[in-house]
Chains A and B, each alone.
Chain A
Amino acid sequence: MSTIGVSVPRVEDERLLRGEGRFLDDLRLEGALEVAFLRSPHAHAKIGAIDAAAALALPGVVAVIDGRETAAALEPMVFDIAKIVPETVREATAPQVRVHPMPALPAERVTYVGQPVVMVVAESRYLAEDAVDLVAVEFEPLPAVVDAERALEPGAPLVEPDWEDNEAISFSFERGDVDAAFAAAAVVVEESFRSHRQHPSPIETRGVAAGVDPQDGSLAVWSSTQTPHLLQDFLARWLHRDPERIRVRAPDVGGAFGVKHSCYPEDLLIPFAALRLGRAVKWAEDRAEHLAAATQGRDQLHRIAIAADSEGRILAVRDSAVMNAGAFNLLGLVVPYNTFTHLLGPYDVGALGFEMRVAVTNTVPTAPYRGAGRPEAVFAIERAIDRLARQLGADPADVRARNLIGPEQMPYETGIVYRDGSDQVYDSGDYPELLRRACELVQRERFEATASERRRIGVGYAIYTEGTGVGPFETARVRIEPSGTVKVFTGASSQGQGHRTTLAQVAAEALGVAVGDVEVVGGDSAAVPSGFGTLASRTLVVAGNAVSEAAAAVRAQALEVAAGMLAAAAYELEVEDGVISVRGRPDATLPLGAVAGFLTPFNPARPRGAPPELAAESVYRPGPVTWAAGVHVAVVAVDLPTGVVEVLRFVIAHDCGRVVNPAIADGQIVGGVMQGIGGALHEEIVYDESGQLRSGNFMDYMLPTAGEAPEFELVHLDTPSPLNPLGVKGLGEGGAIGPPAAIAGAVEDALADLGVVVHRGPLGPSRVRDLIASAASAASP
């Protein structure tokens, strides 16, 4: 019986339900010192004198470290990925990318509120915070710039004084005759749409702990990171140490969504302090730090125009986007280029003109947040299509249907170069069918029955495609123990996605063992020699196929040895539930564990030259990304006089290829959608003009609660990917991509007779009332 496609209950749950999970701050490190940071209160300032005498005099304070001290030991941080531009990308879009290095602790200048300035190490976090209050730093405030558009204007304050302006990235692309298409169009719509800044905010914040091995001085690091191997490599380089003498482990990690993917100053400073002090050191970020100093997401403004014929067929799209990188261009093209490659999504559009400018500003750096540039693209194009439909007086679902790429066009070449440098080709999918299935489930009439002059019902759509399973590689090692237990070691770590269950299912399927006999080990740089990590909707595709390949190789090994043991040919053997049998000889069986036991070096009967264990390693290097897709339909009620928006129902038609564990897949999707709903209605990171963070707590940065959850309806259309042996596509981010656009469309639909246009979120009651008021004043002469 196949173990793939079954909602196997999660093996992760039991420990977590009993309170036996071990998250970073749950680790008991004997004698560990704790860290608190003095963080910049200014968006932009020169650092003057730092007086730590009073702090150092406080009993229990062990060290106070500032940027002048770290400058000598720690080079400023730069990430290779920020500078990587494949040659084909360069040819297609001519990107200009500038990066300035980020000091772990700045010695001269702070460039955003929340930036770490002084690290205090003390016997407890309480004492460390006391000491932070006693450190006196002289700051000389400098002019700051907060908005990306403002930052790109001439004369704006410079975030990086060595640059002549604040532009960190620019690229552009043109395909087809865009101007001619616009000139010939029956209908043109043009609007500005903003994806406002948001915060990933998993319920577990970040954290790092480090200790030094008393025997050989090697470094043990625990970090709530998505990417233990990348952090190992990073630390090796920045601390000038052999990677073999650094072990990075991610314990249980309480959600991430992109925010635990970057290497942060704190990731470097905690190991640095442990080495300097020769003691274990721990930093558990608090929520105020997390909101102020962990990377944020979105913050793009699009000026988008669509040219269409009178039937609503899109002839050309022109989009000019500006993105806010925050104070450092950490990851280069990753997010803005994703926006570009996902702008046209499922639509068959001939001509495209696109340009993107990314500005540095005096705000915390932005980085991938669940969707990583895709929700921004989808908000722009889907909102524009809604405007087109409105202008045509057509049903927005119909206008979308008229422009979708058909299944007969698969594989579909978009004519765009993907960020990995390969041609962007949609490998499989049936977008019209996805839309049809979603529309069937909307149940608009059910809700219209509750409508009144005051309570308006609206329906909104968003369709997206998502390139998933990006490389470069992932490593898996599979070993069968003499006990029959199968151990799967993977470079992919988990932050709640259930990999210990799904990867076990993949291994079980390939080996012919029960899922319960498979134990998955990840999140440890020592588990496999090299690895990448969990991000960008890639784990099932890349790690999953690595596990499948390694398991298949182990199976082949096992059968070869078993053939000798059972006096049969390998091709006559089959494996079921961990037992090898010979077809046609019911009595000839052998547990897989017995084969592993047979190979142990102490068995005198073992064949000469046989390997000492049943194990194989695979490094899976995917080709081009595989394309998942989804249709989201939101049904909302808007209370006219109060502006309160309620999401009543959210329909998701989803295609993530072959599904390994439907319950887990659905959970990923619904969780992503809820984050999208949060962003659409409630969540917004707000800086004031001087760069002070105004949404720095959970009363002001408002994650949705159970009280805001709508009813969800999911339907899957699973077109296997032809690009990988398992036929899977990634799904971690998909849920978050559509909701802002779908909900904005639904609100606009509900208020259509008033002429409301939604240019941005979040759609809190006050903003909705403002929209109604401005539509009314625009309508009256």
Chain B
Amino acid sequence: MADPGAAREVRLSVNGVERAGTAEPRLLLSDFLRHRLGLTGTHVGCEHGVCGACTVLLDGEPVRSCLVFAVQADGAALRTVEGLAGEDGELSPVQQAFHEAHGMQCGFCTPGFLISLTALLEERPQASEEELVDALSGNLCRCTGYANILAAARAARDRAAEGRA
């Protein structure tokens, strides 16, 4: 049997691209993405699952990548902030809404908010105000006071609804 403490190959799909890297068991998925794969858009703010800056989509669900070991993501499909824009490079409706509503200041927490909101609106395109708040209250922002983030979230939801109409 292989050494259970040894580093091993982790293969996963990130933003539709097959990626691989080695990870010892304790390597956090956040560190794997940032420092092994060079995807530094996912940020780390607390490493104990409160701030939400490191949120990524793991098999379609928003998760805190600081609370997942990279080895646990072997075989998974991930989406990170780098994969939100369209194939033509156009900002996604959620990204665009954050820009237009001034829903960001320093931008450090922004990737986590974008992912959380993207996850919500993909699952519940007509999310209620309560659902928006529930989804976004798992991410901390210290700059904006949230008013513009919530405005951006409503705008992104409403724009998506218009798009479907």
Name the segment of A96-104, A155-163, A492-500, A556-564 touching the other chain.
A492-500
- A698, B51: Cβ atoms under 8 Å? yes
- A21, B108: Cβ atoms under 8 Å? yes
Q: What is the CB-to-nearest-CB distance from A668 to chain B, in angstroms, rounded to a whole number? A: 8
Report if A444 contacts B (CB, 8 A): no
| A22 CA to B144 CA, complexed, in Å | 20
Name the interface residues of B1-19: CB closer than 8 Å to any CB of A: none
| A12 CA to B53 CA, complexed, in Å | 19
Chain B residues within 8 Å of A670, by CB: 144-145, 147-148
- B102, A126: Cβ atoms under 8 Å? no
Q: Mark A666-677, 1 if CB is under 8 A from B, else 0.
A: 111011111100
Contact of A10 among B99, B139, B150 (CB under 8 A): B99
- B140, A674: Cβ atoms under 8 Å? no
- A703, B145: Cβ atoms under 8 Å? no
- A667, B105: Cβ atoms under 8 Å? yes
| A519 CA to B34 CA, complexed, in Å | 29
Name the interface residues of A1-40: CB closer than 8 Å to any CB of B: 7, 9-10, 12-23, 25-26, 28
| A341 CA to B144 CA, complexed, in Å | 28
- B43, A23: Cβ atoms under 8 Å? yes
- A663, B102: Cβ atoms under 8 Å? yes
- A17, B99: Cβ atoms under 8 Å? yes
- B143, A19: Cβ atoms under 8 Å? no
- A252, B107: Cβ atoms under 8 Å? yes
- B107, A16: Cβ atoms under 8 Å? yes
Nearest neighbor of B153 in chain A, beta-carbon distance: A706
Report if A254 contacts B (CB, 8 A): yes
Q: What is the CB-to-nearest-CB distance from A59 to chain B, in angstroms, rounded to a whole number? A: 13
**Given A17-B98, A204-B106, A255-B106, are A698 and B140 neighbors across the interface (CB < 8 Å)?**
yes
Contact of A255 among B39, B50, B108, B133 (CB under 8 A): B108
Chain A residues within 8 Å of B109, by CB: 203, 254
Q: What is the CB-to-nearest-CB distance from A610 to chain B, in angstroms, rounded to a whole number? A: 42
| A707 CA to B140 CA, complexed, in Å | 10
- B108, A23: Cβ atoms under 8 Å? yes
Name the interface residues of A269-313: CB closer than 8 Å to any CB of B: 286-287
Contact of B145 among A15, A25, A673, A707 (CB under 8 A): A673
Q: Which 6 pairs between the two chains have the least Cβ-Cβ distance?
A: A19-B41, A496-B106, A254-B108, A16-B107, A674-B145, A19-B81
- B99, A253: Cβ atoms under 8 Å? no
| A28 CA to B39 CA, complexed, in Å | 11
- A287, B45: Cβ atoms under 8 Å? yes
Q: What is the CB-to-nearest-CB distance from A624 to chain B, in angstroms, rounded to a whole number? A: 29
Q: Mark A490-533, 1 if CB is under 8 A from B, else 0.
A: 00000111100000000000000000000000000000000000
Most buried by B among A253, A287, A675: A287
Contact of A203 among B51, B80, B99 (CB under 8 A): B51
Nearest neighbor of B46 in chain A, beta-carbon distance: A287
Q: What is the CB-to-nearest-CB distance from B86 to chain A, in angstroms, rounded to a whole number? A: 11
Q: How large is the interface on A (under 10, 10 to 19, 20 to 34, 35 or more residues)?
A: 35 or more
Contact of B104 among A16, A23, A286, A735 (CB under 8 A): A16
- B105, A709: Cβ atoms under 8 Å? no
Q: Mark B128-161, 1 if CB is under 8 A from A, else 0.
A: 0000011011111111111111100000000000
Report if B59 contacts A (CB, 8 A): no
Number of interface residues, chain B, beta carbon within 8 A: 54
| A21 CA to B107 CA, complexed, in Å | 8
Name the interface residues of B96-122: CB closer than 8 Å to any CB of A: 98-100, 102, 104-111, 114
Which B positions have Cβ atoms within 8 angstroms of A? 26-27, 34, 38-48, 50-51, 53, 80-82, 84-85, 91, 95, 98-100, 102, 104-111, 114, 133-134, 136-150
- A667, B102: Cβ atoms under 8 Å? yes
Give chain A's interface secondary structure class: loop
Chain B residues within 8 Å of A496, by CB: 105-108, 143
Nearest neighbor of B134 in chain A, beta-carbon distance: A707
Q: What is the CB-to-nearest-CB distance from A599 to chain B, in angstroms, rounded to a whole number? A: 37
- B50, A699: Cβ atoms under 8 Å? yes
Chain A residues within 8 Å of B80, by CB: 19
- A19, B82: Cβ atoms under 8 Å? yes
**Given A17-B110, A255-B142, are A698 and B48 neighbors across the interface (CB < 8 Å)?**
yes
Q: What is the CB-to-nearest-CB distance from A199 to chain B, in angstroms, rounded to a whole number? A: 10
Number of cross-chain contacts by CB at 8 Å: 174
Chain B residues within 8 Å of A431, by CB: none
Chain A residues within 8 Å of B145, by CB: 667, 670-675, 709, 712, 735
| A20 CA to B149 CA, complexed, in Å | 20
Which A positions have Cβ atoms within 8 angstroms of B? 7, 9-10, 12-23, 25-26, 28, 126, 200-205, 252-255, 257, 286-287, 495-498, 663-664, 666-668, 670-675, 697-699, 703-707, 709, 712, 735
Q: What is the CB-to-nearest-CB distance from A652 to chain B, in angstroms, rounded to a whole number? A: 11
Contact of B26 among A23, A126, A498, A697 (CB under 8 A): A126
Nearest neighbor of A19 in chain B, beta-carbon distance: B41
- A287, B48: Cβ atoms under 8 Å? yes
- A204, B38: Cβ atoms under 8 Å? no
| A178 CA to B54 CA, complexed, in Å | 56
Chain A residues within 8 Å of B138, by CB: 705
Nearest neighbor of A661 in chain B, beta-carbon distance: B102
Most buried by A among B38, B43, B98, B147: B147
Contact of B44 among A25, A675, A706, A712 (CB under 8 A): A25
- B45, A17: Cβ atoms under 8 Å? no
- A667, B148: Cβ atoms under 8 Å? yes
| A234 CA to B142 CA, complexed, in Å | 28
- B133, A706: Cβ atoms under 8 Å? yes
- A257, B43: Cβ atoms under 8 Å? no
14 cross-chain CB contacts under 8 A: A10-B99, A13-B104, A14-B91, A17-B81, A18-B81, A18-B82, A18-B85, A19-B42, A26-B34, A202-B106, A255-B106, A667-B144, A697-B48, A705-B146
- A204, B26: Cβ atoms under 8 Å? no
Chain B residues within 8 Å of A18, by CB: 41, 81-82, 84-85, 91, 95
| A201 CA to B142 CA, complexed, in Å | 8
- A712, B142: Cβ atoms under 8 Å? no
Chain B residues within 8 Å of A201, by CB: 142
Q: 6 more A-B contacts (CB under 8 A) besides A17-B99, A670-B147, A707-B133?
A: A23-B43, A126-B27, A202-B143, A254-B43, A496-B105, A698-B46
Q: What is the CB-to-nearest-CB distance from B62 to chain A, in angstroms, rounded to a whole number? A: 15
- A706, B51: Cβ atoms under 8 Å? no
| A7 CA to B102 CA, complexed, in Å | 10
| A672 CA to B145 CA, complexed, in Å | 7
Q: What is the CB-to-nearest-CB distance from B54 to chain A, in angstroms, rounded to a whole number? A: 11
Q: What is the CB-to-nearest-CB distance from A764 to chain B, in angstroms, rounded to a whole number? A: 17
Chain A residues within 8 Å of B107, by CB: 12-13, 15-17, 21, 252, 254, 496
- A203, B102: Cβ atoms under 8 Å? no
- B143, A286: Cβ atoms under 8 Å? no
Nearest neighbor of A711 in chain B, beta-carbon distance: B147
Most buried by B among A7, A704, A705: A705
- A202, B111: Cβ atoms under 8 Å? no
